[in-house]
Amino acid sequence: MWIYFLHAKSEVCKFFKEFKIFVENQFNRKIKNLRTNNGGEFTSHEFCSFLKEHGIRRQLTCVGTPQQNGIAKRKNRHIVEVARVMPTRQQDKLDKKAVKCIFLGYSSERKAYRYYNPLKRRIYESRDVAFDENSQWYPQFEEHNKQIESFTHIMKEMKKFQRHKFHFMKKMKNLNWRL
């Protein structure tokens, strides 16, 4: 699978030309068929002329039948899922799985941030975070009691984490492991 990042759909023809040259040089094979949906980027005069000029048979899927393009749809969905965890600029398609958490600090054991999810009442460590310094976590005063409850839970979780860390370090010293 090859991925090309386009700024606009109008770049499809340009990148397909590059892709065709790449495939023919690397694999010593010719592209004989191309199946696409009915998007304007694939039905433009320039694109159709290029396909015809190089003897590439074009197959268009039927309108309203995404199952005919199932493999491409699944691969595209996978790419979007992978992109969600990559640090990227905000895009509506990629923001759907974002969860608001409270920043706690930095992990002492990993190259990661520590953050607390009050809805799940758990502390996590990860490098895949985006900070929104312009918004507040609890915008309404009625949430004050939940804040206190969450903060108390955060402190308990942090103490529990520190106890586990202490016991782990103690066991490692007993085994004479170098840290």
CB 92 within 8 A of CB 99: no
pLDDT tens, residue by residue, 2-42: 777 788 888 989 999 999 999 999 999 999 998 888 788 88
Q: Quick one: 54 and 120 in the same domain?
A: no
Q: Quick one: 76 and 132 in the same domain?
A: no
Residues 19, 24: Cα–Cα separation, whole Å: 9
Q: Quick one: 58 and 108 in the same domain?
A: no
95, 116, 147: which is the final residue of a domain?
A: 95
Q: Quick one: 33 and 91 in the same domain?
A: yes
Q: Quick one: 57 and 127 in the same domain?
A: no
What is the pTM for the complete model shown?
0.44
CB 37 within 8 A of CB 61: yes
pLDDT tens, residue by residue, 100-148: 888 888 887 778 888 888 888 888 888 888 887 776 665 444 455 555 5
Q: Quick one: 111 and 45 in the same domain?
A: no
The pLDDT score that the predictor gives to residue 140 is 46
Domain enclosing residue 110, as ranges? 102-174
